[in-house]
Amino acid sequence: MNLHAALRLMAGSVILISMAIGHYVHPWGYYLTAFVGLNLLQSAFTNWCPAMTLFRLAGLKEQTCATGMSIHQGVHMITGSLVLLTLALVFLAHLPQQLLVVTAIIGASLLQSAFTGWCPAMTIARLLGFRNPQPGS
């Protein structure tokens, strides 16, 4: 497993767990969901988040692009933005909480992509011009 697959596995898992906590235990669980979304979004631009540091220390290999932004960065940008947008629409714009299903789908998509190597956000990132990482990098 490479660093980005591990990151998607962790992000998807934490999104789903925090969504369950927010729904079944206490709404403050959604703050953890927002934290993951914010970390995904900022890691798209900085190529760093706390989990990436841990995964690098664990020796997971990272795939990067020689120029431009990688598909992995595009996935972080797309999923982080969508997570934050759906949370904002529900809690700030007071739209129905059923919209949080979108956030749960994003979490599940990130989770499964760690094992399959594909999620819809990867296709969208490719269509937007994000680059495939260099093999072996």
pLDDT tens for residues 11-46?
A: 999 999 999 999 999 999 999 999 999 999 999 999
pTM: 0.92
pLDDT tens for residues 92-118?
A: 999 999 999 999 999 999 999 999 999
Q: What is the pLDDT of residue 86?
A: 97
Domain ranges for the chain, please list them: 3-127
pLDDT at 137 over 50: no
Cα distances (angstroms) measured from residue 126 to each of 69, 73, 74, 78, 123:
11, 11, 8, 12, 5
Residue 91 burial by Cβ neighbours in a 10 Å radius (0-12, 13-18, 19+): middle
pLDDT tens for residues 75-92?
A: 999 999 999 999 999 999
Q: What is the pLDDT of residue 56?
A: 92
